[in-house]
Amino acid sequence: MAKAGSETVVVVDFGSQLVQLIARRVRSQNVFCRIVTSSASAQEIAAHNPVGIIFSGGPRSCHEDDAPRPDEKIFELGIPILGICYGSQVVCHMFGGRVEGASSRQYGHTIVHVTDRGNPLVHSLPDSFRAWMSHGDTIYHLPEGMKQSADTETAPNAIVYWPEKRFYGVQFHPEVVHTDVGDSVFHNFLYEICGCSGDWKMADFIETTVNKVREVVGDSRVVLGLSGGVDSSVTAMLLAKAIGSQLSCIFVNNGLLRLKEEQEVQRNFSGKFGLDFHYVDAADRFLHALAGVTDPEVKRKRIGHLFIEIFDEEASRIQNVKFLAQGTLYPDVIESVAAHGGPTAKIKSHHNVGGLPEKMNLKLVEPLRELFKDEVREVGVKLGLPEHLVWRHPFPGPGLAVRILGEVTKERCDMLRKADDIFITEIKAAGLYREIWQAFVVLLPVNAVGVMGDERTYENAVVLRAVESRDGMTADWFRMPQEVLNRISNRIINEVKGINRVAYDISSKPPATIEWE
Ligand code: XMP
């Protein structure tokens, strides 16, 4: 939907965990980029009309029979290529260089020494710098015509270049923060080698997208499911700017929201921006559909189906609807190679409005389809969304239902909402909210014995979950200061009737997941 900047860089994914980070690094230099899989042909890559190509790292050794290789014709396109780690090794291997397993795997910080200043990739880099390595293979001999530009104590070809093929390679990972000169490496590649002008800016994105939406939508009506989260809120703001009163937003209160969330969404959007706002209070219907259900997947399915049913009912009352808007982001549409080479297994079925467009015979409008989460936030700020909304932690579609283990009832929802609000309030008061990817409380289906005053109690136990993460794919438990935990625990037990025990979850993902269900 959104029009990319005129300059595009294509990142070829060889199965790197860091491929999205490479893309973010490029975009933060104001150059648009797309990710394609390593099976993309030269023709497919050329169709993006790229000014530069980046080969990512990857978990494989280029000696393995089925290790991914780029299409050799890519080298005939005459477009500069930056190879990172595996992306360098595989090129050397393909063109007759010698790549072998290093005597010991290089992992962690290494000092890189620049040996030849002729390579524009090393312009402005200091003579020595600290870089992050993570590889099992090393390039020992270069193909004919390729030159060394830097080495390390154990890797003779830490940076290489091949003027004839316009190929530039690094053995380290410039995309991770631990490489001191990472930004300079990308800057040199993009600006000195590819000749970029840096035309990818969020303000331009807004303008281009607004024009494009107007063009596509014409005078039809667009309907949007507004959840109050960052993605759907930014989608609403962007569409409101583009088509104002032609936008109808449907906000379904499923009774599984956080404390006072339904009031907040209404306050932010109802009667604002000229848009047509529909509030549907369906809390009772959702609770009824969940009565007696304890299986997490059944909960998700019932919530998903009912949401579609209600959305459909409400939307069918609106005239002349031709489009359904969705807050789909770029990570949702990238077809990345999983580390093991195949599609990633379905761990949990995620709830979205899948099935709706066909059912309602609607076309899709997805104005954020090209953006990463932090870009969406930037757009949100530029469009005037309140800070706290823009930085809000992600919240799952099935809401509190997957945080109440066992049966979901109104009483349990209310209890969890209060505990969750205390947790978040205290995290914010301690200034930790932005450091945490997601924080929430989980209500367990067990009672624990306690004592309050002289009375024995037998009440609910909750778990606090707070994680650090870059994208939700992997996560580590947040090292919460003890005094903050202490305050939270005291407040929850004293203020929330029915809870007498608080635990802290110290599992990482994998093997655990972020949510408990
Ligand atoms: P897990 O629990 O799979 O969560 O580690 C990863 C991220 O996805 C969110 N999540 C969901 N989001 N519908 C959603 O819209 C779902 O059913 C769902 N389950 C998990 C979770 O909150 C985390 O951000």
In the set 175, 261, 426, 517, the catalytic residue is 175
Ligand 1 centroid from CA 125, angstroms? 41
Instruction: Report d(CA 67, CA 328) in Å as an integer.
Output: 32
pTM for this one?
0.84
Q: What is the longest distance spanned by two Cα atoms in the chain?
A: 84
The pLDDT assigned to 5 comes to 54
Mean pLDDT of the chain: 91
Instruction: Report d(CA 208, CA 301) in Å as an integer.
Output: 37
Q: Judge contact between 10 and 33, C-beta under 8 A.
A: yes
Name, in order, each residue with C-beta under 8 angstroms of 165's C-beta and a sequence gap of 6 or more. Answer: 75, 81, 145
Instruction: Indicate the top mutation candidate among 299, 470, 515 to test ligand 1's pocket, ranked by most ligand atoms within 8 A of CB.
Output: 515
The pLDDT assigned to 470 comes to 78
Instruction: Report d(CA 319, CA 222) in Å as an integer.
Output: 10
Q: What does DSSP assign to residue 173?
A: -
Instruction: Report d(CA 299, CA 394) in Å as an integer.
Output: 19
Instruction: Determine if the peptide bond prior to 510 is cis (ω within 30°).
Output: yes
Residue corresponding to tokens 């004592």: 451
Instruction: Report d(CA 307, CA 359) in Å as an integer.
Output: 13
- Give pLDDT < 70 ranges for the chain: 1-5, 102-106, 335-355, 357
Smallest CA separation from ligand 1 atom 14, residue:
396
Tens of pLDDT, residue by residue over 329-388, are: 888 877 655 544 443 334 444 445 556 767 778 899 999 998 988 899 999 999 999 988
The pLDDT assigned to 28 comes to 92
Ligand 1 centroid from CA 308, angstroms? 19
Handedness of CA 391, 397, 399, 405 (dihedral sign): negative
The pLDDT assigned to 415 comes to 98
The pLDDT assigned to 332 comes to 81
Cα torsion through 381, 387, 391, 397, rounded to 10: -90
In the set 93, 135, 173, 351, the catalytic residue is 173
Closest alpha carbon to 476 in 424, 428, 511, 446: 511
The pLDDT assigned to 341 comes to 45
The pLDDT assigned to 199 comes to 92
Is residue 370 annotated as a catalytic residue, yes or no? no
User: CB of 353 closer than 6 A to ligand 1?
Assistant: no
Provide DSSP, 343-378.
Answer: PPPP-SPPP--TTHHHHHT-EEE-TTTT--HHHHHH
Token pair for residue 449?
């014995």
The pLDDT assigned to 478 comes to 98
The pLDDT assigned to 337 comes to 57
The pLDDT assigned to 335 comes to 62
Instruction: Indicate the top mutation candidate among 257, 348, 509 to test ligand 1's pocket, ranked by most ligand atoms within 8 A of CB.
Output: 348
Ligand 1 centroid from CA 12, angstroms? 27
The pLDDT assigned to 360 comes to 75
Closest alpha carbon to 467 in 494, 442, 443: 442
